[in-house]
Amino acid sequence: MEGKIVKNESNNYTVRTNKGFFICKPRGKFRIEKITPLVGDIVTIDEDNNYILDIKERKNSLIRPQIANVDIAIIVTSVKEPNFDSNLLDKLLTIISYNNIEPVICLTKLDLLNSNEKKEISSIMNYYENIGYKVTDNNNLSEIMKIIEGKIIVFAGQSGAGKSSLLNKLDKTLSLETNEISKALGRGKHTTRCTTLYDINGALIADTPGFSSVDFLGMTKQDIRDNMKEMFDNLQYCKYRDCMHIKEDDCFVKRLLEKRKILPSRYENYKKFIGGK
């Protein structure tokens, strides 16, 4: 029987099939072959003995959060408590794009900003929209529902950004655990302890453990460049076809930066990203 893994907790995989839900263990061959089933995997199961027999080919996968076959990643981005983190946002956008997943930026806690802070965040987000990213906020539920309809969705973002709270807004029957921000640490406590796909109006949405650091695992400097929109889209106008936009002469990206047509924080993050490779 074929089904989709919708939850993994302590190596117990909940598989949704057209005959209901089965809690299965992976066969020993997966351990021998060093293959780990992921939430989102389409699998063949032995429903009589509750074993996962085979995993169908994935279109993509993420390591953290551990999930496969994702259509859209909603990057839940707090603007205050915890404060807006452009470095993490740009990392997530780049890694998600590299994995052929559409990123959507969803702002939270806008009500905590004063008028000047709102203008600043609005200006920053206008830039992201202008270079081609979708941007919304956690109060615009109707727009979010249109974006996610019929898709497999992953929520990503730092601890305390409001991922579980947004899921609770989208489906009030979930009542997922949320915690307040730790004042001493300035970040949220982890409230999600396993990866689960929730069926919300035909969309399968993953609530995943919060995290505040991600890595460019398996990505080269060129991969990072090619998955940051303005760094790749403007490459064709540079003098060199392999320009990395750092030390090369006649670099179109650096000219745009001087004209303030590239967000300085994006370029600084880009330099940090490829400098670490």
In the CATH hierarchy, which fold is given to the domain comprising 221-275?
Ribonucleotide Reductase Protein R1; domain 1 (1.10.40)
Q: Which residues of the chain have pLDDT under 50?
A: 179-192, 210-212
pLDDT at residue 155, rounded to an integer: 84
Q: Which residues neighbour 66 within 8 Å (Cβ) at sequence distance 6 or greater?
A: 8, 36, 38, 39, 195, 208
pLDDT at residue 153, rounded to an integer: 92
Q: Is the alpha carbon torsion for 193, 197, 198, 200 positive or negative?
A: positive
pLDDT at residue 186, rounded to an integer: 39
Query: According to CATH, what is the number of the domain 2-57?
Result: 2.40.50.140
User: Is the distance from CB of 120 to CB of 90 less than 8 angstroms?
Assistant: no
Global confidence as pTM: 0.83
Residue 198 has which token pair?
């929730």
pLDDT at residue 158, rounded to an integer: 81
Alpha-carbon distance 180 to 184, whole Å?
A: 12
Helices (H), 152-226: 163-170, 221-226
pLDDT at residue 196, rounded to an integer: 83
Reported CATH class of domain 62-207: alpha beta
Q: Can you tell me whether residue 241 is helix, strand or coil?
A: coil
No. of helices (H) and no. of strands (E), the chain: 9, 15
Helix (H) / strand (E) element for 142: namely helix 141-148
pLDDT at residue 183, rounded to an integer: 37
Confirm whether 2-57 and 62-207 share one CATH topology: no
For the chain, give every domain's residue range.
2-57, 62-207, 221-275
Q: Which of 112, 114, 250 lies closest to 181, judged by CA? A: 112
What count of other Cβ atoms lies within 10 Å of the Cβ of residue 132?
Answer: 9
pLDDT at residue 48, rounded to an integer: 96
Q: Which of 210, 189, 188, 207 lies closest to 197, judged by CA? A: 207
Q: Can you tell me whether residue 56 is helix, strand or coil?
A: coil
Alpha-carbon distance 39 to 4, whole Å?
A: 8
Alpha-carbon distance 207 to 236, whole Å?
A: 39
Tell me the β-bridge partners of 134.
Answer: 104
- For residue 151, give Cα distances in angstroms to 90, 183, 233: 23, 36, 27
